């Protein structure tokens, strides 16, 4: 849903997939490596510009270190992708967090805790719809 909300192409089947359908497709025994988190890695293209692509990575280790970040950046470089989301279980080491800052603006990697994504906060009745501003709207807002 996060990718869809950001304007990336996600099929309706993927959006509507139930937990049971997910388990049937990927397995339901993480302790046996079914599913392995790395199997969940996905590449999505933007609706407006198919060349604007984004990876979504699911690292295996609970706390992600700089080695994993470098591995992801290498894959992004090989496939000429500049944007990625990293869904972590427990967070990142301080050096890994710093590496995300150091790689911007060449590579834009955003970190999310798995727990944060269990519910889509934008669907709550008290949260107004979020819309990305155009460059003109940003300029007008800053001129005020």
Residue 94 has pLDDT above 90, yes or no: yes
Q: Hey, which residues does 83 pair with through a beta bridge?
A: 54, 108
Report whether pLDDT(79) > 80: yes
Predicted confidence (pLDDT) at residue 87 exceeds the cutoff of 90: yes
Distance CA 144, CA 141 (A): 6
> Cis link prior to 30 (omega < 30° from 0)?
no
Domains in the chain, please, with CATH?
A: 1-120 (3.40.1340.10)
Query: Which stretches of 1-134 are assigned E, i.e. beta strand?
Result: 42-45, 53-57, 63-64, 83-88, 91-92, 108-113
Q: For residue range 20-73, what is the model confidence (pLDDT) as tens digits?
A: 777 777 777 666 666 778 878 888 888 888 888 999 999 999 999 999 999 999
25, containing H or E segment? helix 19-26
φ, ψ of residue 135 in degrees (nearest 5): -60, -35
| pLDDT for the residue 21 | 75
Quick one: three-class SS letters along 52-87? CEEEEECCCCCEECHHHHHHHHHHHHHCCCCEEEEE
Residue range 99-128, pLDDT digits in tens: 999 888 889 899 999 888 777 666 656 666
Q: What's the rounded mean pLDDT across residues 82-108? A: 91
Q: CB-based contacts of 119: which residues, under 8 Å, 6+ apart?
A: none
């Amino acid at each position: 849903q996060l990718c869809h909300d950001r304007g990336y192409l996600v099929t309706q089947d993927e959006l509507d997939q139930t937990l049971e359908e997910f388990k049937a497709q990927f397995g339901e025994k993480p302790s046996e490596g079914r599913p392995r988190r790395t199997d969940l890695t996905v590449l999505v293209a933007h609706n407006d510009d198919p060349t604007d692509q984004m990876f979504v990575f699911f690292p295996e280790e609970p706390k992600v270190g700089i080695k994993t970040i470098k591995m992801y950046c290498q894959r992004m470089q090989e496939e000429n992708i500049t944007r990625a989301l990293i869904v972590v279980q427990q967070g990142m080491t301080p050096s890994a967090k710093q590496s995300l800052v150091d790689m911007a603006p060449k590579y834009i990697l955003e970190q999310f805790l798995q727990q944060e994504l269990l519910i889509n906060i934008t669907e709550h009745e008290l949260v107004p719809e979020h819309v990305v501003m155009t460059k003109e709207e940003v300029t007008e807002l800053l001129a005020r």
